[in-house]
Amino acid sequence: MAAMFDLEVQHPAELTRVTVKLNVCAEVGELLRTLIGDGRRLQAVVITDERVGELYGEVLLESLGGASFVTYEHRLVPGEASKRLAVADTVYRFLADHGIGRDAVLIALGGGVVSDLAGFVAATWMRGIRLAICPTTLEADIDACFGGKTAVNVPGGKNLVGVFHQPVLVAVDPMCLRTLDSRDVRAGLAESVKHALISSESFFAWHEDNGKAVVSLDEELITELILRNLRVKASIVEKDALERTHTRMLLNFGHTIGHAIEACCEFELRHGECVSLGMLAACRLSVALGLLKESAVTRVEALLKQFGLPTRLADRIEAGPILDTIRNDKKVRGGAPQFVLLENIGRPVVRDDVAESRIREAYESLLA
Backbone angles phi, psi at 71, to 5 degrees: -105, 150
Q: Is residue 141 close enough to count as binding ligand NAD by CB under 6 A?
A: no
Residue of 165, 195, 255, 270 with catalytic role:
255
Residue with smaller CB distance to ligand NAD, 10 or 182? 182
Give the 3-state secondary structure of 276-307.
HHHHHHHHHHHHHCCCCCHHHHHHHHHHHHHC
CB of 187 to ligand NAD, least distance (A): 7
Stretch that binds ligand NAD, among 6-14, 20-28, 144-152, 340-348 (CB under 6 A): 144-152
Helices marked H in the chain: 28-36, 50-52, 58-66, 85-97, 112-124, 138-139, 182-199, 201-215, 219-237, 255-264, 271-288, 294-306, 319-328, 356-364
- Asked if 299 is an active-site residue, the reply is no
Nearest alpha-carbon partner for 18 in 29, 3, 32, 33 = 3
Distance in angstroms (rounded) separating the CA atoms of residues 118 and 107: 8
**Residue span 78-117 as binding mask against ligand NAD, x where in contact by CB under 6 A, dash where not:** xxx--x--------------------------xxxxx-x-
Residue of 21, 51, 83, 259 with catalytic role:
259
Reduced to 3 states (helix: H, G, I; strand: E, B; else coil), residue 321 is helix
Residue with smaller CB distance to ligand NAD, 55 or 336? 55
Distance in angstroms (rounded) separating the CA atoms of residues 186 and 167: 26
In the chain, % helix, strand, coil (3-state, to 5) comes to 50, 20, 30
- Asked if 246 is an active-site residue, the reply is no
Q: Given candidates 22, 26, 59, 159, which one binds ligand NAD under the rule CB under 6 A?
A: 159
**Amino acid identity, residue 25?**
C
Please count the CA atoms within 13 angstroms of the CA of 298 that sit on its side-chain side. Answer: 3
Q: Is residue 185 close enough to count as binding ligand NAD by CB under 6 A?
A: no
Q: Is residue 180 close enough to count as binding ligand NAD by CB under 6 A?
A: yes
Stretch that binds ligand NAD, among 172-180, 236-244, 277-285, 302-310 (CB under 6 A): 172-180
Reduced to 3 states (helix: H, G, I; strand: E, B; else coil), residue 170 is strand
Q: Return the residues of window 241-270 that contact ligand NAD according to CB under 6 A.
A: none
Residue of 21, 75, 83, 149 with catalytic role:
149
Residue with smaller CB distance to ligand NAD, 27 or 139? 139
CB of 318 to ligand NAD, least distance (A): 25
Stretch that binds ligand NAD, among 57-65, 174-182, 193-201, 327-335 (CB under 6 A): 174-182
Reduced to 3 states (helix: H, G, I; strand: E, B; else coil), residue 153 is strand
Stretch that binds ligand NAD, among 178-186, 208-216, 287-295, 345-353 (CB under 6 A): 178-186
Distance in angstroms (rounded) separating the CA atoms of residues 146 and 35: 17
Q: Given candidates 20, 123, 140, 274, which one binds ligand NAD under the rule CB under 6 A?
A: 140
Residue with smaller CB distance to ligand NAD, 67 or 114? 114
Distance in angstroms (rounded) separating the CA atoms of residues 138 and 192: 9
Distance in angstroms (rounded) separating the CA atoms of residues 113 and 105: 19
Residue with smaller CB distance to ligand NAD, 80 or 201? 80
- Asked if 207 is an active-site residue, the reply is no
Distance in angstroms (rounded) separating the CA atoms of residues 18 and 174: 13
CB of 51 to ligand NAD, least distance (A): 4
Distance in angstroms (rounded) separating the CA atoms of residues 334 and 96: 43
CB of 148 to ligand NAD, least distance (A): 8
Residue of 248, 273, 284, 301 with catalytic role:
248
Judged by the rule CB under 6 A, the positions of this chain that interact with ligand NAD are 49, 51-52, 55, 78-80, 83, 110-114, 116, 136-137, 139-140, 143-144, 147, 149, 159, 176, 179-180, 184, 271
Task: Indicate which residues carry an active-site annotation.
Answer: 127, 149, 191, 233, 243, 248, 252, 255, 259, 271
